[in-house]
């Protein structure tokens, strides 16, 4: 399902990965207000409920905010009552084992109304902004849970752009999420903007997370500071103590195996 937002005027704020982090979600809503960006000009690339402690409260806050949201793999899996997050982690890998507790917590904590909302979310958003036609997707258009890393070869981006154009017509701008790393790259005939994740640091050793602002023909990543200690405390209360609760302060992922070798932090 593709949802057409029509023409968006003024700065656009794109964000991904609230991942059950209520404190980061509230901070993002505050950052939009501080910039005078209305909810209708804020796009969420999905994974609203994942790693952190407050899935129901996070989804409720986003629904009250009212910005367009597309479905990530987490929304699709939770809406279906699937057994796991569908992130694409190799079976038995550390990421796979670490995902079981947070997925089970989200599945148990989300009310039926939140699942129904997730089930109705589109796969893709299209819009025009500053004369440019854009599409927002989760991981990839070929696979919702594809990890399109910042250093991926151009052929990877070209495959995704071709799939987006086949589904939605011409685009010159793509906004994506899922992989957790924000980046901006002019590639395969589009400006590709991964808006990153607001609810989990980017494995860069900093607690601040990332979102993207698009205006005056360019896209830039901005830092989001929020009460990460409160978010970690909510994870402790929920029994989510497998390592991601420390990441909120340290900015370092508990497992780097999902990352391409060139993007791993030296041990």
Residue 178 beta carbon to Fe ion: minimum distance, rounded to whole angstroms: 4
- Report the first-to-last Cα separation within the chain, whole angstroms: 42
Rg (CA), the chain: 17
Between the alpha carbon of residue 207 and those of residues 45, 103, 108, 241, 246, the distances in Å are 21, 22, 28, 17, 10
Closest to 14 in 3D by CA, of 194, 188, 138 = 194
To Fe ion, the closest distance from the beta carbon of 223 in angstroms equals: 21
Among 105, 115, 129, 178, binds Fe ion (CB under 5 A): 178
Looking at 40-48, 94-102, 109-117, 203-211, which segment touches Fe ion (CB under 5 A)? Answer: 40-48
Could you give the string, one character per residue 58-77, with x where binding to Fe ion holds by CB under 5 A and - elsewhere?
--------------xx----
Q: How far is CA 207 from the centre of its chain?
A: 16
The owner of tokens 């939605």 is 168
Q: Specify the residue, 89 or 129, whose C-beta has the smaller distance to Fe ion.
A: 89
**Beta carbon nearer to Fe ion, 45 or 54:** 45
Q: Which span (27-35, 112-120, 174-182, 213-221) binds Fe ion, by CB under 5 A?
A: 174-182
Structure tokens at 262: 């060139």
In this chain, which stretch among 44-52, 199-207, 213-221, 222-230 interacts with Fe ion, using CB under 5 A? 44-52
Number of neighbours of residue 66 by Cβ within 10 angstroms: 11
Q: Which residues bind Fe ion (CB under 5 A)?
A: 47, 72-73, 178
């Amino acid at each position: 399902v593709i949802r057409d937002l029509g023409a968006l005027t003024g700065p656009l704020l794109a964000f991904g990965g609230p991942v059950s982090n209520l404190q980061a979600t509230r901070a993002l809503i505050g950052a939009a207000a501080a910039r005078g960006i209305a909810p209708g000009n804020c796009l969420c690339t999905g994974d609203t409920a994942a790693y952190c402690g407050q899935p129901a409260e996070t989804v409720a806050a986003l629904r009250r905010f009212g910005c367009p949201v597309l479905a990530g793999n987490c929304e699709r899996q939770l809406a279906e009552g699937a057994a796991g997050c569908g992130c694409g982690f190799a079976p038995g890998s550390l990421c796979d084992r670490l995902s079981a507790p947070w997925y089970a917590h989200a599945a148990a904590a989300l009310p039926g109304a939140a699942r129904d909302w997730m089930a109705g979310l589109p796969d893709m958003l299209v819009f025009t902004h500053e004369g440019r036609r854009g599409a927002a997707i989760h991981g990839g258009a070929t696979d919702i849970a594809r990890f399109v890393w910042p250093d991926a070869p151009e052929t990877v981006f070209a495959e995704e752009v071709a799939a987006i154009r086949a589904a939605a017509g011409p685009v010159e701008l793509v906004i994506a999420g899922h992989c957790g790393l924000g980046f901006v790259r002019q590639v395969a005939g589009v400006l590709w903007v991964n808006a990153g994740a607001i609810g989990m640091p980017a494995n860069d050793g900093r607690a601040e997370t990332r979102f993207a602002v698009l205006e005056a023909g360019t896209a830039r990543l901005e830092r989001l500071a929020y009460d990460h200690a409160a978010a970690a405390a909510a994870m402790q209360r929920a029994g989510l103590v497998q390592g991601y609760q420390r990441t909120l302060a340290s900015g370092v992922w508990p497992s780097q195996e999902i990352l391409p070798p060139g993007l791993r932090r030296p041990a």
